[in-house]
Chain A
Amino acid sequence: SQTIHQWPATLVQPVGSPLSLECTVEGTSNPNLYWYRQAAGRGLQLLFYSVGIGQISSEVPQNLSASRPQDRQFILSSKKLLLSDSGFYLCAWSVGSNYGYTFGSGTRLTVV
């Protein structure tokens, strides 16, 4: 069966520190991978998506970057965190033209 792992679950980081959030998918090949953010009191905002290894598309200009070093691994990074980067980060995957996403359990990031 397919599963998605996302870690850590909670993270508190000082302003200006780096960030690395990892997401891995099991049980499927060549998934579409996504990073979403839910800021406090707001909906889900698509940050990045990837349709294959090394292929990253950014939806909004921001302080973050994403990489896909392996087929089932998606990493969200920042060199220097801002206060505005605080939020709930969600990784998700889908396959082909299947429009239903499976989401990870999320990472609560607080930048202090």
Chain B
Amino acid sequence: DQQVKQNSPSLSVQEGRISILNCDYTNSMFDYFLWYKKYPAEGPTFLISISSIKDKNEDGRFTVFLNKSAKHLSLHIVPSQPGDSAVYFCAASESLRGWGKLQFGAGTQVVVTP
């Protein structure tokens, strides 16, 4: 049962434009969300996170938005750069579990074109 879903397997965006990646979840107990970036043949690296007490978190070119009522979060990359071409994973966790067990989405492949 996939509790975290990324329904867009791929996204192509022009350099300098905005990339918007979407993620939906079904478990209402999730209260902490993260985005990871992964290059081929490498492990994912942490990008940005958001707690359920917030609806927005910003870090440089990356902003994550959380809509709890819709069980939806999105990652905005502005402006997109060629180095942003990678697979992006959305992940979620339940803090009541007391430790960080993450559920990941299937990932979205982003390709930034010149």
Contacts and interface: CB of A to CB of B under 8 A. Distances in A.
A109 to B, nearest CB: 13
A110 interface: no
Contacts of B41: 9, 88, 105-106, 108
A46 B2 CA distance: 12
A78 interface: no
Given A99-B93, A105-B42, A43 B102 contact: no
Interface residues of A, number: 28
Contacts of A90: 43-44
B76 to A, nearest CB: 20
Contact of A101 (B32, B46, B106, B107): B46
A19 interface: no
A24 to B, nearest CB: 14
Contacts of A92: 43
Given A32-B99, A99-B93, A100-B34, A106 B42 contact: yes
